[in-house]
Chains A and B, each alone.
Chain A
Amino acid sequence: GESVGLHLPTLSVQEGDNSIINCAYSNSASDYFIWYKQESGKGPQFIIDIRSNMDKRQGQRVTVLLNKTVKHLSLQIAATQPGDSAVYFCAETLPGGFKTIFGAGTRLFVKA
């Protein structure tokens, strides 16, 4: 069935360290992938996206890697800060672009 899953439900890192959040997706035909950050009581906030014709994309302190061979997506956060503490979701847009499937989320704790 359609699913986007995460390997680690929780991740705890020290402030200043790098964080890596992993995600597996199920539909090899999906062509657009997004990472969202959701803080308590708020809607998901767009972080970074990547299309299937790329394998890496960098933003400010964040990098997304896409491995289509094993259907794996990761989010790297450099120099993690307390403000990065949140739940992170990967999402997969199915062919046609009208339906987005979210994973269950990973909660990131940043220790000061």
Chain B
Amino acid sequence: DAGVTQSPTHLIKTRGQQVTLRCSPISGHKSVSWYQQVLGQGPQFIFQYYEKEERGRGNFPDRFSARQFPNYSSELNVNALLLGDSALYLCASISGGAGETQYFGPGTRLLVL
């Protein structure tokens, strides 16, 4: 079975641009969570989606949005990029239930110049 996949692996953008990151969960998993990990810190929760519905959101501005598709893959969008958005963006796959184990992908490293 394939694990969690994310694309692209690396990305460079300039301030003010918009970015879309993609995630495919483990086959059979219906939920994904997105995290931002700034260098030297632990991951910070951004969103969780289950069955295409948002069911949890962290303390991130409205510039961050996400959606989940019928095949349970997900996209994270960030508008009006700031330098401080430079980070590793992680997607986690969850089978579905609350409080179940999250399995992380390798992440997308975003650099904003």
Contacts and interface: CB of A to CB of B under 8 A. Distances in A.
Interface stretch (A42-50, A61-69, A70-78): A42-50
Given A98-B48, A99-B45, A102-B42, A44 B90 contact: yes
Interface in A61-109: 89, 91, 93, 96-105
Interface in B23-67: 33, 35, 41-45, 48, 55-56, 58
Main secondary structure of the interface of B (DSSP, over half): loop
27 contacts: A31-B99, A34-B101, A34-B102, A42-B106, A43-B104, A43-B106, A43-B107, A44-B43, A44-B104, A45-B104, A46-B104, A49-B101, A51-B99, A89-B43, A93-B99, A97-B97, A97-B99, A97-B100, A98-B48, A98-B98, A99-B48, A99-B56, A102-B42, A102-B43, A102-B44, A102-B45, A105-B41
Contacts of A42: 106-107
B56 A98 contact: yes
Interface of A: 4, 31-32, 34, 36, 41-46, 49, 51, 89, 91, 93, 96-105
A100 B41 contact: no
Contacts of A46: 101-104
Given A42-B106, A43-B105, A45-B104, A96 B43 contact: no
B21 to A, nearest CB: 13
Contacts of A51: 99
B78 to A, nearest CB: 19
B74 to A, nearest CB: 15
Nearest to A43: B104
A44 B35 CA distance: 11
Contacts of A44: 43, 90, 104
A39 B52 CA distance: 31
Of A89, A96, A99, chain B has the most CB atoms within 10 Å of the CB of: A99
A49 B103 CA distance: 12
Contacts of A89: 42-43
